[in-house]
Amino acid sequence: MERIRLTVGAVAHGGHCVARHDGRVIFVRHALPGEVVTVEVTDGGADAKFWRADAVEIHEPSPDRVPSAWPEAGPGGVGGGELAHVALPAQRAWKLAVLREAFERFAGPTQGTGSFPGDAVFAAPGDDESGGLGYRTRVGAVAGPDGRASMRAFRSHAVKTLERMPLATAAAEEALLGGRWTEGATIEVVDASGEDKVRVLVDGRPWTARGVDRRPNAPSHVREVVTVGGEEHSYRVAAGGFWQVHLEAPSALANEVVERVGDAGAVLDLYAGSGLFTLPLAATGREISSVESDAQAAKDARRNLHAHPAARVVEGDVRQLLRAGLGRYDAVVLDPPRSGAGRATLEALHTTGASTLVYVACDPVALARDVAILRELGYGLESATAWDLYPMTHHVETVATFRRG
């Protein structure tokens, strides 16, 4: 593969930096802005619009460079730890820079400045003390040729055996690395907050030390416990279903959402999953409706809300249900997929009459694009808080409040 010596430029969305060589843009992983490095081109050609490369030699390191917290995720390694060579404060500065750049490019005028309204990316409780490690309560892998937990190399089908999983909780790491499975099997490990032991799924089926749990009543759910506003809430969640992976993320996000909803009497929770936000909102006694397209998650939400009979769970497509009419609400909470809510869904929000929107976003560019659309629809961005809920990766979570009128 071709090797090139170059000076690294600014960070970009996706966990890489931008560099230029002979007029060509190169997206460089495992580097930091300002560094002089030798890169190995991993994806490129004479006709390519841009190239991808890994920094394999560091000639002039950045002061923000640290020994990698997960060398297996370094050049040529597995995906999922692309910022492991960056000091934690610099990781958050990196993510703030990406947010600002996304807003400047896609959001248009925001509060008259055209910039992201936050001035920091906040750490989850405990991350500074742990060095940003040991936070993942859910980890996945594939069984390699020797049956050991493995991951695919970044942008590759090549399988690499894992020697460590430092992002996982200690219990999840031990369960993942200590098992042996049939080659090619998909492994999921769940270290739920309300359980006294980890759960393992293999190809989606419960697993025990003796193999697949074939009992008709094999446990398929886990219990999660989340504290919001000083009150503890218990959730039943499908073991293989969606749940925030950072052990502190459910509480951090739910507290933020409830605070931003404020005193709104009637709230609509879209893309609600198993009810992470719905339950603490329902516990305040307000009118609340939850909308979720996944049948299992909607079923779990009904179970989680059983003590609040006034809470309503609607299963179905968010956009179609909004267009058909879900009733009138004071506030809407939406936590869409990584691609964002999009114009068609946001335009359908008019049926709710809501003056307040609380938007939970896991992708800066998708959020910025939706900011521009919401402005057209009369919703101004009031404030936003960014959370570093995925240390050692480029991902960042943002909670934003929009007001109309």
362 to each of 87, 124, 203, 327, 372, how far by Cα in Å? 22, 15, 27, 27, 17
Q: How many CB atoms lie within 10 A of CB 390?
A: 24
CA atoms within 13 A on the CB side of 360: 27
DSSP 43: E
d(Cα 368, Cα 361) in Å, to the nearest integer?
10
> Strand ranges (DSSP E) for 302-367?
312-315, 331-334, 356-361
Instruction: Concatenate the DSSP letters of all residues of 274-287 into one string.
Output: TTTTHHHHHHTT-E
**Residue where the block lists tokens 């909308």:** 291
The active-site residue out of 362, 371, 374, 389 is 362
Question: Is 17 a residue of the active site?
Answer: no
d(Cα 345, Cα 357) in Å, to the nearest integer?
13
Q: How many CB atoms lie within 10 A of CB 216?
A: 4
- In the sheet with 50-60, reading across from the earlier edge strand, the strands are 3-7, 36-43, 50-60, 24-29, 16-21, 11-12
- Give φ, ψ of 361 to 5 degrees: -125, 140
Distance between first and last Cα of the chain = 57
Query: Are the C-beta atoms of residues 286 and 264 closer than 8 Å to each other?
Result: yes
Residues recognised as catalytic? 362
